[in-house]
């Protein structure tokens, strides 16, 4: 299997960090990024701080962060083969209480962060005539839950599905694949230790683990004929729900 250079945003924690570990353990090079230097440095050290890893501290809604990740990848490893857009935030607030500043925070980090980091990476992938972008979306964008007031976060993630279809179409001719993985509820620091209480939203009646997502990200990165796909790794949340658990 070809050794790849994998750029991963939101890699100081949770899914992004698990994805970095998964690729490193299988021999790939990674460039990890997040906005909080101390957290990113800790992840960098935990991931082995070896020759196969580099880090870039930066706010993801600023295009300079994506540009810097590409620059570091080229200087250290010579290519940009995979981009995993995992940086993101989740909070809830009833729809009628959402103001413009609150909505903008989700659009800036979750949507614009993915949009412009992808722009930085695809500019290089076009030169290579090869590459794959894997967004971390959400299975909840087409499955409303009465008790979960996350309209602002939800629209920022829903737009990523549209972006996925479009970019797959615009860059298929350049041999660049663009896919989104739509997780269910995954055990990460995002849930402050409360994730298990949501097990019943999945047909499998358990929450997902970071490794469940990392394994699919790796598979999509190494596959050659999947593009424009929204791939649910959600324990069946998107398919239906049980009345009795
Ligand atoms: N966990 C779930 O149940 C679940 C379900 C569906 C989708 N997702 C998605 O999966 C992705 C990862 O979530 P997670 O559960 O792994 O959460 P997490 O453990 O809280 O990790 C979030 C990561 O995003 C980074 N980040 C947040 N805001 C940033 C910003 N403004 N600029 C740069 N980096 C920023 C954080 O870095 P620093 O704090 O170090 O800056 C951290 O590395 C998110 O996009 C989330 O929406 C998660």
pLDDT in tens, 4-38: 999 999 999 999 999 999 999 999 999 999 999 99
Nearest CA to ligand 1 atom 40: 36
Atom of ligand 1 lying closest to residue 183 CA: 6
Residue among 34, 115, 199 whose CB has most ligand 1 atoms within 8 A, to mutate: 34
Whole-angstrom Cα distance, residue 150 to residue 140? 10
Ligand 1 first shell, C-beta below 6 A: 10-16, 34-36, 39-40, 59-61, 86-90, 109, 136, 138, 183, 185-186, 188-190
List average pLDDT for each run of 10 residues in the chain, which is 245 residues long. 95 98 98 98 98 98 98 98 98 97 98 98 98 98 92 98 98 98 97 91 97 98 98 96 83
Tell me the per-residue pLDDT of 163-184, one tens digit each, with 9 for 90 and over: 999 999 999 999 999 999 999 9
Whole-angstrom Cα distance, residue 162 to residue 58? 26
Residue among 8, 10, 108 whose CB has most ligand 1 atoms within 8 A, to mutate: 10
Q: In Å, how far are 5, 37, 42, 68, 128 from 73, measured between CA atoms?
A: 7, 18, 20, 8, 13
Atom of ligand 1 lying closest to residue 39 CA: 40
Give residue 87's pLDDT. Answer: 98
* Region for 192 from its dihedrals, namely left if φ exceeds 0, alpha if ψ lies in -120 to 50, beta otherwise: left
CA of 15 to the centre of ligand 1 (A): 7
Give residue 135's pLDDT. Answer: 98
**Residue indicated by tokens 């593009």:** 227
CA of 85 to the centre of ligand 1 (A): 9
Give residue 15's pLDDT. Answer: 98
**Residue 212, CB-side half-sphere exposure with 13 Å CA sphere:** 17
Predicted structure pTM score: 0.98
Atom of ligand 1 lying closest to residue 186 CA: 3
Atom of ligand 1 lying closest to residue 35 CA: 41
Give residue 54's pLDDT. Answer: 98
CA of 239 to the centre of ligand 1 (A): 25
Give residue 158's pLDDT. Answer: 98
CA of 68 to the centre of ligand 1 (A): 19
């Amino acid at each position: 299997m070809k050794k790849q250079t994998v750029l991963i945003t939101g890699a100081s924690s949770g899914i992004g960090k698990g994805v970095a570990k998964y690729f490193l353990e299988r021999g790939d090079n990674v460039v990890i990024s997040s906005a909080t230097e101390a957290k990113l440095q800790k992840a960098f050290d935990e991931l082995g701080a070896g020759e196969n890893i580099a880090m870039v501290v930066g706010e993801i809604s600023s295009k300079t962060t994506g540009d810097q990740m590409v620059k570091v990848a080229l200087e250290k490893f010579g290519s940009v083969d995979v981009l995993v857009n995992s940086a993101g935030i989740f909070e809830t607030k009833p729809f009628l209480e959402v103001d413009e500043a609150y909505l903008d925070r989700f659009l800036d980090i979750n949507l614009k962060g993915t949009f412009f980091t992808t722009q930085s990476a695809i500019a290089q992938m076009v030169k290579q005539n090869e590459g794959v972008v894997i967004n971390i979306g959400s299975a909840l964008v087409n499955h409303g839950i009465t008790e979960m007031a996350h309209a602002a976060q939800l629209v920022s993630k829903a737009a990523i599905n549209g972006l996925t279809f479009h970019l797959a179409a615009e860059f298929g001719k350049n041999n660049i694949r663009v896919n989104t993985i739509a997780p269910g509820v995954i055990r990460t620091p995002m849930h402050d230790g409360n994730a298990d209480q949501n097990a019943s939203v999945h047909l499998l009646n358990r929450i997902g683990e970071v490794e469940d997502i990392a394994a699919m990200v790796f598979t999509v990165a190494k596959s050659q004929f999947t593009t424009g796909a929204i791939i649910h790794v959600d324990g069946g949340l998107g398919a239906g729900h049980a009345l009795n658990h």
